Structure 1
Amino acid sequence: MTVLVAYVARPEGRAALDKGIDIATRNNERLVVVNAGPGGRNEDPGLVDGYEVERVEERLAKLPVQAEFKHFVRGKSAVEEIDAMVGPLEVSVLVIGLRKRSPVGKLLMGSVAQELLLTVDCPVLAVKAP
């Protein structure tokens, strides 16, 4: 089984990573951390840069469980990439981070978290940043 973490380089993404590490370590499960977005004209501010990838990979390398970081920028949305991983990885839980948004912000920007909750076929744990 695999704990899958949807990661963005923001406080809510770091909270999701912390919780994912905790669950995977406690249950001795594989941990996969994914950051994804379409790229190109549709550049997503949630996509991480090279420094952030290194930082997360270094942290994962120190864990007592198998862990890896996947970074996708190949024209698909984060939801499409994550949903495609759930079955093949036998995901026991998807961990996502939430941030507070105004109702207008939700209307104009949509919500990746909401779309994940409605799309993926596995349990989803939503955590808030401290």
Structure 2
Amino acid sequence: MTIVVGYLPSPPGLAAIEAAIAEAELRGSRLVVVNSGVLGDYSGPSFAEPQDLDALDAQLTERGIDHEVRQMTRGLAPADEILSVAADEDAELIVIGVRKRSPLGKLVTGSTAQQVLLDATCPVLAVKA
């Protein structure tokens, strides 16, 4: 069984990782970490630095969790990347971090969390920092 977690180098992203680790340990599941830029922007704050991904990989290895860390560069929206990986992996669970946004912010930029929650074919665990 596989759990897919959307990762951003931010407090909500770290909360998602911690929740995904707890679920993977509880279920004995493999963990697939997904990080991507926003629609091809690989210089923005959502695209993790190599040292962040290396530290995450080391943390998961140290905890004995079967895992894979993927940094997607296909130019898709983050929600589409997460949903695509979840479908490819036949995920039993998706874990995402959420943050409070204004109604205008949601209207202008959309909501990755909302799209994942509405379009996922498996259960989604949304966690706050």
TM-score (norm 2): 0.91
Structure 1 residue 59: Cα displacement: 0.9
Q: Is the 8 Å Cα contact of residues 60 and 68 (structure 1) preserved in structure 2?
A: no
CA distances 1:70-117 after superposition (whole Å, capped 9, x unpaired): 101122221222222223312111000001111222122211100111
Q: Is the 8 Å Cα contact of residues 12 and 98 (structure 1) preserved in structure 2?
A: yes
Q: Distance in 1 between matches of 2:60 and 2:52?
A: 12
Partner in structure 2 of residue 93 of structure 1: 93
Partner in structure 2 of residue 118 of structure 1: 118
Q: Distance in 2 between matches of 1:75 and 1:126?
A: 24
Q: Distance in 1 between matches of 2:4 and 2:23?
A: 10
Structure 1 segments, 4+ long, off by >6 Å, are: none
Q: Distance in 2 between matches of 1:122 and 1:18?
A: 20
SS, match of residue 107 in structure 1: helix
Structure 1 residue 127: Cα displacement: 0.2
Percent identical among aligned pairs is 39
Partner in structure 2 of residue 28 of structure 1: 28
Q: Distance in 1 between matches of 2:93 and 2:21?
A: 12
What are the ranges of 5 or more consecutive residues in structure 1 without an aligned counterpart? Answer: none
TM-score (norm 1): 0.90
Structure 1 residue 126: Cα displacement: 0.3
What are the ranges of 5 or more consecutive residues in structure 2 without an aligned counterpart? Answer: none
Q: Is the 8 Å Cα contact of residues 30 and 67 (structure 1) preserved in structure 2?
A: yes
How many residues align? The count is 128
RMSD over equivalenced CA pairs, Å: 1.5
